[in-house]
Amino acid sequence: MSALTVEQVVAAQKANIETLFGLTNKAFEGVEKIVELNLTASKAALSEVAGHTQSVLSVKDVQELIALQSGLLQPLAEKTAAYSRHLYDIATSTSAEFTKAAEGQAADAQSKFAELVDSAAKNAPAGSEAAVAIMKSSVAAATNALESVQKAVKQATEVAEANFQSVAASATSVAKPTAKKR
């Protein structure tokens, strides 16, 4: 059976540290994007409030005020939906980076474990073929189970994303008739 060398351990630790720093940078990039989105949305909201305040101050009667207020509903719903979509996109892309790294690490670990099992099988004493076959079968079953879980997670993510898009579109379309009725 082959033992791990110091160089292999150091290389593995170095790779793990590089992955950690890479993921930390991706997390910070996601936070930066969210902060930028929030700053942009806050500036736009402040500008719109100033404009709306000016419009309210120039209103001459109640009918004009009601028309002004009802005209705000649809744009507000659309902006809220756009903000939510943008926030969701940032979260999804950041999460995808973490998932990609985790899948890469899992694949690498599976590969190394399979190599270890193969090495152990080659150096196993005579008469242990059944135990080696059971071990290989267990590794194959675990690999298949992990792949099934990864596929299920991807499918659930796709369904959640489709549902989010549907809800966002529905919320925007509901706001349009509501704004027109007033």
Find, among 22, 29, 25, 26, the residue nearest to 105 by Cα: 22
* pTM given for the model: 0.59
Ranges of beta strands (E only) in 30-132 are none
The pLDDT confidence band at residue 172, using thresholds 50, 70 and 90, is: low
Phi, psi values for residue 4, rounded to 5°: -75, 135
Is 155:144 a contact under the CB 8 Å cutoff? no
CA–CA gap between residue 111 and residue 139 (Å, rounded): 10
Kind plus residue range of the DSSP H or E element containing 109: helix 62-122
What integer pLDDT is reported at residue 175 of this predicted model?
56
Answer yes or no: are the C-beta atoms of 90 and 34 closer than 8 Å.
Answer: yes
Q: What pLDDT, in 10s, does the model give residues 33-80?
A: 999 999 999 999 899 889 888 888 888 998 888 888 888 777 888 888
129-160 pLDDT, tens digit per residue, is: 787 788 778 877 877 877 787 787 777 777 77
> Across all residues in the chain, what is the average pLDDT?
80
* pLDDT higher than 80, residue 167: no
Burial class of residue 109 in the structure, from the number of CB atoms within 10 Å of its CB (0-12 exposed, 13-18 middle, 19+ buried): exposed
Q: Which residue has the higher pLDDT, 179 or 170?
A: 170
Domain-by-domain residue ranges, the chain? 6-181
